[in-house]
Chains A and B, each alone.
Chain A
């Protein structure tokens, strides 16, 4: 009974975000998809024409297909993190809507679950549309858009957890830049979006495997390019998911509730 009531409340919060998204759909679509498209054009088609094929995961694939699959991971990282960190900070600190919603029959815990669920949904939508384009171009198999949804949702929930924790810990909106440049960008550059991990020195490969984006990219390439499953990606992602979502909620409660 209580779980059903909580799920209804989380849905209610999610609908609030969806309503905002729906009313400004064109703006959101342009800002959400322009970035991955630009990466795809620059690296997939531009650099891809210079590089040709790459050997990764025991397979040889065109660089465009390799990067295209990596852009799925980059999309869930950026979409999940930015929506929760900058967006979450604005909603918490400037708009104060977390507080406004948590003074209704919806609890703060449900507000935060609704926030994370929405951030993950929006990032998953972006990843699914990019996978659709990949399938339409013949770079991914036709089932790829559906196949990537579970991994995209779980990984964007994880990155949204990171973003919400950052929002909770930042005293000013400028402070969000620290984790952005010290954590998110290194992940983006060194976790296998643009080149196979095997190109890195072994200690850096191990370091990259500790970070969650490497596991996301590994699973995305299994689903879209048929690379062999690196099973340890699953427990790594699960551990990060539990740790970051739990920490983000704790940090947000610490920030908002005395």
Chain B
């Protein structure tokens, strides 16, 4: 069952210098229940604009987005009732302490304050920051803030979860623990859309990935099928330092480089 459908989504807008920019061009994909789909591309590829259109925050220039079968732009209240969003930027409400933040956010979905507190405590426990429940947001480290923002996206038990670069800035340990939580959510039947520029993250978590370049999807499929289609089975030779070659199996970074001539991750 498809919980998120993006159909021929196009987004054009006027930039600060007056030019029209097509940030997203005819993008289509779907995410089914219990599936994780990755939007893979470097900064500026159109991932965040696509995600803002999916959330209903930006109106599309053309195309449509259905969440649980409901057009998010025609009926945003109903569509977003089942949507959990985590933006790339820090949007935590610094006027609230950690637990109150989650409880207050839950009320935006119609949950009672008491239910919000109960869900908040559960999530803080699961994310390993229960001891920070009464801390101010400013006192949290960058990694804790990121985890709290993902926890906040889960506060109303969404069936569609959209995460814009959720692990950026996390150390490897924190990243892995967040991956475990996402795998758990996927196992519970949640449809996850994950935007990332980390190929390892995409290969580990995503059932399918869409390679986004200059606002358009260049190819999509499972990480394995994309690698086989574009790179074959032959090992790739990489110069790891001047004069030293390293032979390794191909990965998504190589596919992206072959398709677009650009790298996913900054060297």
Contacts and interface: CB of A to CB of B under 8 A. Distances in A.
Partners in one complex: yes
Interface of A: 5, 9, 12, 15-16, 19-20, 95-97, 99-108, 256-258
A103 B81 contact: no
B59 A257 contact: yes
Given A20-B96, A96-B91, 16 more contacts: A19-B100, A95-B91, A95-B92, A95-B94, A96-B87, A99-B57, A99-B87, A99-B91, A100-B87, A100-B105, A102-B57, A103-B55, A103-B87, A104-B80, A105-B80, A107-B77
Interface residues of B, number: 33
B93 A97 contact: yes
B95 interface: yes
B13 A100 contact: no
Contacts of B11: 258
B222 interface: no
B93 A100 contact: yes
B58 interface: yes
A103 B158 CA distance: 13
A168 B78 CA distance: 28
Contact residues of B: prevailing secondary structure: loop
Interface string B42-75: 0000000100100111110000000000000000
Nearest to B80: A105
B109 interface: yes
Contacts of A101: 108
B57 A108 contact: yes
B89 interface: yes
23 contacts: A5-B77, A12-B108, A16-B107, A19-B104, A96-B90, A96-B91, A97-B93, A99-B91, A100-B91, A100-B92, A100-B105, A101-B108, A103-B56, A103-B85, A104-B80, A104-B109, A105-B81, A105-B109, A107-B77, A257-B57, A257-B59, A258-B11, A258-B13
A104 B104 CA distance: 12
